[in-house]
Structure 1
Amino acid sequence: MSFQDVLNGVQQAAGTVSGVMSAAGRLLDALGLGAPSYQDQVRPASFRGIPFAVLASEGSFGRRNAIHEYPNRDTVWVEDMGRAARKISLIGFLVGDDVIQQRDQLIAAAETEDMGELVHPTLGTMFVSLITLRVTEKWDSGRVFEIALSFVESGLKEFPSDTTDTASDVLGAVGDANLATAADFLHQVADAVKQGIAIVQQVVNTVTKWVGIVKNVINAARNLYNAVRSIPGTFGRFHGLLDSGSSSVAAPRNATATAVAVRLAIAQGTQARATVANNLSSMSLAAGALSSSSSTINAFSSSVQTVVSSVLSACTSPLDGINALTQLAQFTPPVLAQDSSPIGQAMTAAQNATAALLRRSAVIGVCQASASYQPASYEGAAAMRARVTTLLDVEIQSAADQGLDATYLALRRLRAAVVADLTARGGKLSRMTTVSTPVPVPALLLAQRLYRDPARADELVQQADPIHPAFMPVSFKALAQ
């Protein structure tokens, strides 16, 4: 039938709905857009790539139900326990002059370990485990072997696991520690500020010293270096060589895009530093507004924690944040002249309490950053764990000596959370090993030799920090796996 004949049939049958539907179907068939036939949908059967013909197929499907029966109850409760395993049975044959070789290949596939891919004529591709393969040979069938196969749909070997989100535990302990340190600071300072403006001024002086350290840390040139270094691509990796005047590294292919990325990184850093500066001003104002009212003291404590959070946000990476806050956590106020008067004692108490609040807030910020820090190796995780716990131990001991029970207990819980987090994440990482070569070789060659993966050359460059990636040091530390 020609295409024109089909169009004529459509026009003639347009008077009835059924005629239109029938004509539309014929039109689609003529255009090759009609529904595929049954034969078009049947796929050649195979198991692990070994083809065979299928005469009959049978499948078992449904749900796994546990039937619960109870005394004096006419009905039962059927508990749905999930989808039942799909069971497939096929009856077919192998044919050809090489039927013996076909049979041997199918037997080898049947005896292969683990699940395999089955192409079912109508169900499509499935991953199954073969239960049985039966082969029947008859003398009067010649080069035809009858086969019967039974399969069960299979999945990956998975076991229930009870895992703890250790990073979330750290963040939760961080919040508790901030609340505890603020509460203890309130109890320490509330009575002292009643002594007069001199006590408040001493708090302001202590804060001013700490503000100067924060500004030095945030405005350090290293922050700009790290911001540019974080730019993806070759420029971010080797910009230090370009800045040093080395011409061994080619300029970026897209200079305009690189320039935009650099300007964006600088702008973001400038904005982050401005945010820190604004928060520092707010903290200084809150210190000057201290009174015996708990609201003013809590406002000051909150402003200190805001400064710590903004310092973390201004840092390019969690490691940069840890480095910056470590400097703030080592703050020591100037020693006051000996004064045994009530005013002198109150000034000393206010200064010590303020310095402790500033240090502890910074240490808690270090713990917060450690939850986002991703160590590269087992040794790196252990080193970071020791670094953070050393800072915590100093403040835990100090809180215990001052009788600050809430701060002491909160910092102990925070320490346990940090140790658990870095231990859990570090335990999954590879250890470091010493890589030694007789002569300098390219990073690509070493990556292929060590890991069978040239893409890890950048990782080796980061570990070894060579003069040029084509000339790696003859000895350096790298991941063992």
Structure 2
Amino acid sequence: MNWRDHLIEASFRGAKFKVLDASTEVGRRNVLHEYPFKDTPYVEDMGASADRFTINAHIVQSRDNDWDYFAERDALILALKTEGPGTLKHPFYGEVTVSVEGMVPITESFLEGGIARFAITFVQAGESIFPVPTVDSTRGMDTVAETAINQVGDSFVSRFTAKALSARTVVSDLGKTISMIKNTVLSVRGSMAATVSGTLATLNEMKSTITTIVNSPTSIATFINSSISSALSLIGDPIPVTGGSMGGWSGEYEGAVVSLPEDPVPLRLGESEVRAMVELSRFGESITVDDPSMYGGLLEDITVNSYNTAVEALNREVLVDMVRVLAIVNAVRVAVRVDYDSYDKAMEVMNLVVDRIDELLILIGDQSADETYADYDVYKRMDDSVYLSLVQLRVTFIRIMKQIGADLARVVEYRVPPAVIPSLVLAYERYNDISRDEDIVNRNTPAVNHPGFLPEGEAIEVLSE
């Protein structure tokens, strides 16, 4: 065996590159003390110096990348810019945990063409000896979510007017709420059939009690909270509640809340649940809307021409507000529990939820300034605390999702060589893990319709590490 047999393919965070030459610095952190009138100095050993690895790397067009080096270059640039230590596969020293030191010059020229040269300095990275604060993302998010639930519940109870003349509308609206929740439950993928069946049965049972609660704002608020919470039983465990406190208000309705799991929720199930909750937050759209939700929840407009119809319309708006806010709050609670497989997927879900929060903030802000019913001495009086709690929910959610995404691999483009290559081979060559072949296939369906034949010469998506 000669020295070439010991070499390994160079990469950083899974992004591969070629090495022209490399140098390494090792040593001790010695401090030299030279004293007046003393001929012999004293050397104080302060411990080992951090090893430094300087690598002159390059990525060049070749048959392996279909004579296009841009994707591999960009993958390495992304790896170098990613926060925190990463694994360097050094051709001479094997796997080392390192951090990038300083800036990395990248040279490309028309004279050479088809090659990018990198001058990279890595420094050895160890574990911190000091305590590192950790963030309990689920508990922190639940605390902020609970505040939003309390605020919207209190706002509902203070703004809703129980009147016999509007009872029929309330019964109809609550019935349509349950119907839309059932439709979103049926849209969730990855849940057990028995769990779905049990959730639908619970919702049907709740629907049968609607006529008994329409004269009590606290009971209606509790009913809405319980019905939306029941939809989360697809990923959590229902906990019966009788006449207790549901958020910041107290009700007599016998319902259920759901204890969400501490363990990560599988991606397919969790993402599907988040999307269902975001869709539910569209409840109450007018039947004249151009792009209605496929899950229902459309309501006929109420013609306001008297005090009673103004109260009826305001009750409708208050009810719709509560359904929408509770739905998006639960979307947030689920989103921070999902077991994401990549940074890109985590950011995709975050942006989906944040975009909807922004839309709700605009709607709530517009309602607060709306004096449509003032002629009938009926005022919307939207509580600022609901708006502010949603703002805080948004800020906290973005911060936690970015923390979750920071440790995840990125989705990068990989160009399949113009030859037959199975996903199993690519998984082994790229990750040294043949079990990753399923992820490669799933990530690129339908472009990849057989694991034994990746599309020759075409670009597919893979994880950076």
Q: Which of the pair has the greater relative contact order for Cα pairs under 8 Å at 6+ separation?
A: 2
Q: Does 2:363 align with 1:398? A: yes
Match of 1:290 in 2: 214
Structure 2 equivalent of residue 480 of structure 1: 464
Q: CA deviation at 1:205?
A: 1.7
Alignment of 1:23-34 (within 5 A): none
With over 3 angstroms needed to count, the CA separation of the structure-2 counterparts of 1:357 and 1:218, relative to structure 1, is: same
- Please tell me whether residue 163 in structure 1 is matched to residue 128 in structure 2: no
For residue 369 of structure 1, what is the aligned residue in structure 2? 334
Q: Aligned residue for 1:268? A: 195
- The SS at the match of 1:434 is strand
Q: What aligned pairs does 1:218-233 form with structure 2 within 5 A after superposition?
A: 218-220=185-187, 223=189, 226-227=190-191
Question: Is 1:449 paired with 2:401?
Answer: no
RMSD value, Cα: 2.6
Matches within 5 A, 1:309-324: 309-314=229-234, 317-324=269-276
TM norm structure 2? 0.56
Shift of 1:113: 9.4
Matches within 5 A, 1:273-352: 273-282=200-209, 284-285=210-211, 288-291=212-215, 296-314=216-234, 317-331=269-283, 332=285, 333-352=298-317
**Residues 202 and 350 in structure 1, CA contact (< 8 A), matched pair in contact too:** no
Unaligned runs of 5+ residues in structure 1 are 1-110, 115-154, 228-264
- CA distance, structure 2, for counterparts of residue 112 and residue 336 of structure 1: 73
SS in 1 for 2:336: helix
Match of 1:360 among 325, 328, 339: 325
Distance 1:446 1:184, change over 3 A: same
Q: Shift of residue 207 of structure 1? A: 1.6
Counterpart residue type for residue 352 of structure 1? E
> Which one-letter code corresponds to 1:422 in the other structure?
M
Q: Which has the higher helix share?
A: 1
Cα displacement string for residues 132-170 of structure 1 (whole angstroms, at most 9, x for unaligned residues): xxxxxxxxxxxxxxxxxxxxxxx9753221232232211
Q: Write the mapping of 1:191-210 to structure 2, written as runs, cut at 5 A.
A: 192-193=161-162, 196-210=163-177
* Greater mean deviation of Cα atoms: 197-206 or 269-278: 269-278
Q: Where do residues 65-144 of structure 1 align in structure 2 (5 Å cutoff)?
A: none
The structural deviation recorded for 1:280 is 4.0
Contact 1:184 1:404 in 2 (8 A): yes
Asked if structure 2 preserves the Cα contact closer than 8 Å seen for 1:442 and 1:472, the reply is yes
- TM superposition shift of 1:172: 0.8
Structure 1 counterpart of 2:422, one-letter code: P
Report SS of the residue matched to 1:330: coil
The one of 411, 417, 429 aligned to 2:390 = 411
Quick check: 1:470 aligned with 2:452?
yes
Q: Runs (4+) of structure 1 moved beyond 4 Å?
A: 111-114
Go from structure 1 to structure 2 and tell me whether the alpha carbon gap of 1:339 and 1:303 turns closer, same or farther (over 3 Å shift). Answer: closer
Deviation at residue 453 of structure 1 after TM alignment = 1.8
Find the counterpart in structure 1 of residue 55 from structure 2.
none
Once the two structures are superposed, residues 205-240 of structure 1 have per-residue CA deviations (whole angstroms, 9 ceiling, x without a partner) of: 2222222222223335x64xx34xxxxxxxxxxxxx
Which of 375, 384, 401 matches 2:349? Answer: 384
Contact 2:186/2:196 (8 A) holds in 1: no
Quick one: distance in 1 between partners of 2:275 and 2:183? Answer: 13
1:280–1:307 CA contact under 8 A, matched in 2? no
Q: Does the residue aligned with 1:472 lie in a helix, a strand or coil?
A: coil
SS class of match (2:460)? strand
The SS at the match of 1:478 is strand
Following the alignment from structure 2 to structure 1, what is the Cα–Cα distance between the partners of residues 360 and 50?
Answer: 58
Deviation at 1:200, TM superposition (A): 2.1
Which amino acid is the alignment partner of residue 442 of structure 2?
Answer: Q
1:388 to partner: Cα distance = 0.9
Query: Which of these two proteins has the greater Rg computed from alpha carbons?
Result: 1
Q: SS at 1:317's partner residue?
A: helix
Structure 2 distance, partners of 1:209, 1:202, is: 11
1:277-334 CA-partner distances (Å, limit 9, x unpaired):
334444x34xx5233xxxx322221221222222122257221211211221111153
Which amino acid in 1 is paired with 2:415?
S
**Amino acid paired to 2:150:** L
Per the TM alignment, residue 184 of structure 1 is displaced from its structure 2 partner at its CA by 0.6
Q: Which moved more, 1:266-275 or 1:404-413?
A: 266-275
Q: 1:382 to 1:218 in 2, by over 3 A?
A: closer
| Structure-2 change in CA distance of 1:335 and 1:314 (3 Å) | same
| Aligned partner of residue 450 in structure 2, secondary structure | coil
**Partner-residue secondary structure (3-state), 1:435:** strand
Task: Letter of the 2:179 partner, please give it.
Answer: G
> Following TM superposition, by how much is the alpha carbon of 1:426 offset from its aligned partner in structure 2, in angstroms?
0.5
Q: 1:277, 1:429 → 2: CA distance? A: 40
CA contact (8 A) 1:440 1:471 kept: yes
User: 1: distance between equivalents of 2:168 and 2:182?
Assistant: 21
Q: Is the 8 A contact 1:171 1:371 kept in 2?
A: no
1:234-278 superposed Cα distances (whole Å, 9 cap, x missing partner): xxxxxxxxxxxxxxxxxxxxxxxxxxxxxxx43333223323333
SS at match of 1:433: strand
Residue 475 of structure 1: CA displacement? 2.5
The letter of the residue matching 1:458 is E
The code of the aligned residue for 1:321 comes to: E
Contact 1:318 1:373 (8 Å CA) reproduced: yes
Distance, in Å, in 1 between the alignment partners of 2:166 and 2:49 is 82
